[in-house]
Amino acid sequence: MFDHLSSLPPDPILGLLASYRADENPGKIDLGVGVYKDEAGHTAVLQAVKEAETRLLQSEETKAYIGPAGTPGFNTVMQELVLGAGHPALLGGRVRSAQTPGGCGALRVLAELINRAKAGATVWVSDPTWANHVPLLGNAGLHIKSYPYYDRATSSLQFDKMVETLKNVGEGDVVLFHACCHNPCGADLTREQWKVLAEMAQKQGFTPFIDMAYQGFGESLGDDAYGLRLMAESVPEMLVAASCSKNFGLYRERVGLAMVIYANGEAADKGQSQMLSAIRGNYSMPPSHGAAIVESILTDAGLKANWEAELTEMRERINSLRAGLVEGLVAVDAAGEFGFIRQQKGMFSFLGISLEQVQQLQKDYSIYMVDSSRISIAGLSSNNMEYFCRAVASVL
Ligand code: LMR
């Protein structure tokens, strides 16, 4: 049965991990997968998470199934984290959600829901977008098209071109936006630009689908959700995939939220029954542990404050690395203008170098980044910054 299957190349992001691990150079640098690292290059478990786990170990009384939607407590606190407590959509009883295995689980479940509502619907994604968006949405049966977003020549957002393309998109189509910390380019929409897009969605009738994988990594928990919340006030229907991988550091626990805002309560109940059936026919129900940690943190004022302080520390470290990288590249006279890296947000930026240069960095310097030259900034530190900047200058 399987003899005729051909081998596929490794995943463009996850494949880098294996090559990095196999590299014996002690000076190797991993700027591949988007995982936060501290100054020592370690991805530590957050203290707030450790504390919540300790409490859970004492208080958990059963391992019985939690059902396709996950726990009501998790869903409630996450809806409020994402939308802000008291958001009109919440007060109007129009929001339904499910706890999912990571943001990927959320994207896939929502894609299946869209496909049930309109088979083969078109989803517009930014060019570029996260490499896994295309298989996650496309394999659910959706048709993928792209809108211009980032201009590699100027290392900046091309909003006019984005609007030019999206102005022809109407009812029945879905447009995927990155809430903040755009993956892979780090260039985010301004508040003014979100206002323009929210008006377009309202007038033209397309359905916004917002992926929020990095809430708290850009400016703050609230600021990073600005566009999402505005959009949710402007349109009758909207989809949100949220991830707790990065902001809670719960990567391997797989915790996410698939949330839908419906036009009214009746549509919400029908839609939720479809989403739960899609989940049941897919992975049946989500794992419990990671979401229980999130619920425990967000329902305890002390733990929540500790978590927010740790999140702020991660964000500030990345921002200072961004500044350090720009200064470091200037200091070694690297050919080119890299000031844009300082303005961008979140874990990623494109360095803006060619594939050959990316490959040379890997071969000659054991520096690992995605072929597109996307770097995961947190992989840098004061220990490897100069080595990295000199290596980049040498391949330019
Ligand atoms: C990334 O883009 O590196 C992360 O979102 C991890 C992943 O699954 O690709």
User: From the alpha carbon of 183, which atom of ligand 1 is closest?
Assistant: 2
For a mutational test of ligand 1's pocket, the pick from 11, 14, 17, 33, i.e. the residue with the most ligand atoms closer than 8 A to its C-beta, is: 33
Establish whether residue 299 lines the binding site of ligand 1, counting it when its CB lies within 6 angstroms of any ligand atom.
Answer: no
Place of tokens 């726990």: 71
pLDDT for residue 16: 92
Looking at residue 3, its pLDDT comes to: 96
- ipTM of the predicted structure? 0.96
* φ, ψ (nearest 5 deg) of residue 240: -135, 130
Catalytic sites, residue numbers: 130, 211, 246
From the CA of 13, give the closest atom in ligand 1.
Answer: 9
Q: Indicate the burial class of 35 (C-beta count within 10 angstroms; 0-12, 13-18, 19 or more).
A: middle
Where would I find the beta strands (DSSP E) of the chain?
29-30, 95-100, 122-127, 143-148, 150-151, 156-157, 174-178, 207-212, 238-243, 256-261, 348-350, 367-368, 374-376
Q: Which amino acid is at 181?
A: C
Radius of gyration of the chain (CA): 21
Distance CA 126, CA 148 (A): 6
Using a 6 Å cutoff on CB, does residue 105 contact ligand 1?
A: no
Q: Of 259, 240, 248, whose CA–CA distance to 290 is shortest? A: 248
CA gap 66, 8 in Å, rounded: 36
Count of positions (residues) in the chain: 396
Q: Which atom of ligand 1 is nearest the CA belonging to 132?
A: 9
Mutational test site, ligand 1, from 183, 250, 350, 376, max ligand atoms within 8 Å of CB: 183
- Taking CA atoms, 244 is separated from 12, 99, 263, 358, 384, in Å, by 22, 11, 27, 30, 28
Q: What is the pLDDT of residues 196-207, one digit of tens each?
A: 999 999 999 999
Ligand 1 pocket, mutate which of 13, 17, 43, 108 (most atoms under 8 A from CB)? 13
CA of 33 to the centre of ligand 1 (A): 5
Question: Who contacts 363 (Cβ-Cβ below 8 Å, separation ≥6)?
Answer: none
Instruction: Say what the pLDDT of residue 361 is.
Output: 98
Show pLDDT as tens, one digit a residue, over the chain (396 residues).
Answer: 999 999 999 998 999 999 999 999 999 999 999 999 999 999 999 999 999 999 999 999 999 999 999 999 999 999 999 999 999 999 999 999 999 999 999 999 999 999 999 999 999 999 999 999 999 999 999 999 999 999 999 999 999 999 999 999 999 999 999 999 999 999 999 999 999 999 999 999 999 999 999 999 999 999 999 999 999 999 999 999 999 999 999 999 999 999 999 999 999 999 999 999 999 999 999 999 999 999 999 999 999 999 999 999 999 999 999 999 999 999 999 999 999 999 999 999 999 999 999 999 999 999 999 999 999 999 999 999 999 999 999 999
The CA 204 to ligand 1 mean position distance, Å, reads 32
Q: How far is C-alpha 375 from the geometric centre of its chain's CA atoms?
A: 15
Give the domains, in start order, of the chain with CATH numbers. Answer: 14-44+308-395 (3.90.1150.10), 65-299 (3.40.640.10)
C-beta of 13 in contact with ligand 1 (< 6 A) = yes
Residue with tokens 């005729």, as numbered in its chain: 4
